[in-house]
Structures are given as structure tokens and as C-alpha cells.
Homo-oligomer: A and B are copies of this chain.
Amino acid sequence: MALEQTAELSLTHSEPQVQNRLSMVVFSGDMDRLMAAFIIATGAAASGMEVTMFFTFWGLQAIKKRTSTGRSLFGRMLSVFLKDITGVGPSKMNFGGLGRWMFKKMMKAHNVTPLPELRKLAAELGVRMLACQMSMEVMEIRREDLIDEVQDVVGVATFLEEASRSKITLFI
């Protein structure tokens, strides 16, 4: 599959120029890392940068609807553990959900925009949200399991093309 995906890639025959552009791989599905990802993405977009977020593996939780996924036994087992953006917990001190609740409280107390609103803001600011085809297949998540704001389901080649002409590329 890695090879098939690269077939669509065409980095060499063009000369992509570095543009006022930021791209990121959102690999993590932790609440705190997703906060960082969306704060950077919305901050960059608000300042006029072109921003692309490429969601892969656990990061798919950030763009998933609150629905069950999976066809096979394993896929349905995995689905039990996958959350949507309102359900993800922090990478440290989750304590079975207590930490998630506590961080939400603390963010609210200090007027920090919560994750679902940050994602909405990102869409409004024109941040491109792309989903990784291969991880969707492995995790048995279909296009219709993702929110409508997701613009496309793509392979690694698309990410590489974006990143090649970006000033800033992050793996989160």
C-alpha cells in the first residue's frame, strides 16, 4: 500500500516553492496534544497562513463522528476505545476520565476555547482537514464516520507535497 500511494506522487517533476504555509501530521489523539495542534492551526490561519492538518492513526478521533465503527470483530473491538473530539483524554493524568474532566474545568475557568469550538473555528478560517486513507482502512473507519468538514481522504503523497512547500511542518 505504501508503494501504491506513492504512485500518485509527483514531487520531482515540479519545483514546489516554499509558501506562507503550515502543514502538520496529527498522529496523536490525546486531548492536550490536539489542543496544541488546533491552537497552532487556528493561530496560523488567522494570521493569513495556508494551513493543512493531516489526521492519521489516533488523530482520526479528532475528526470522527460519535458513532460506532468497524466491520470485523477487531474493528468493532477497537471502536469501543475510539473517542470523538469531546471524549478524548489528556496524555498524562487521565485517571480514568477524571483528568479529562479536570482539565476541561480548568480550561473553562481560564476562558480557553474548548476543542470542539477550536475545530469549528479552524474550519471557518479555512484550515484544510485531510484524513489518512491507510489508517482509516486499518482502523476500519469509513468516510461517512468522519465529520463533514473533512475535505478529503488522502495518502502520504499528498502530505509530502503539502509539506514540501510549507515553511513550517510539524508532527504532533
| A contacts, CB < 8 Å to B | 1-3, 5-6, 9-12, 18, 20, 22, 24-25, 27, 29, 32-33, 35-36, 38-40, 42-44, 46-49, 56-58, 72, 74-75, 77-78, 81, 91-93, 102-103, 105-107, 109-113, 118, 121, 134, 137-140, 155-157, 159-160, 163-164, 166-172
Copies of this polypeptide in the complex: 3
Task: Tell me the interface secondary structure of chain A in the complex.
Answer: helix
- What are 27 A-to-B residue pairs whose CB atoms are below 8 Å? A1-B112, A2-B118, A5-B43, A6-B47, A9-B43, A9-B46, A11-B47, A12-B47, A25-B170, A32-B57, A35-B57, A36-B56, A39-B134, A40-B159, A40-B160, A43-B155, A43-B156, A43-B157, A49-B160, A72-B109, A106-B138, A106-B139, A106-B140, A107-B138, A112-B138, A163-B167, A171-B172
User: In whole Å, how far is A132's beta carbon from the nearest beta carbon of chain B?
Assistant: 9
B20–A27 touching, CB < 8 Å: no
Which residue, A106, A111, A166, has most C-beta atoms of chain B within 10 A? A106
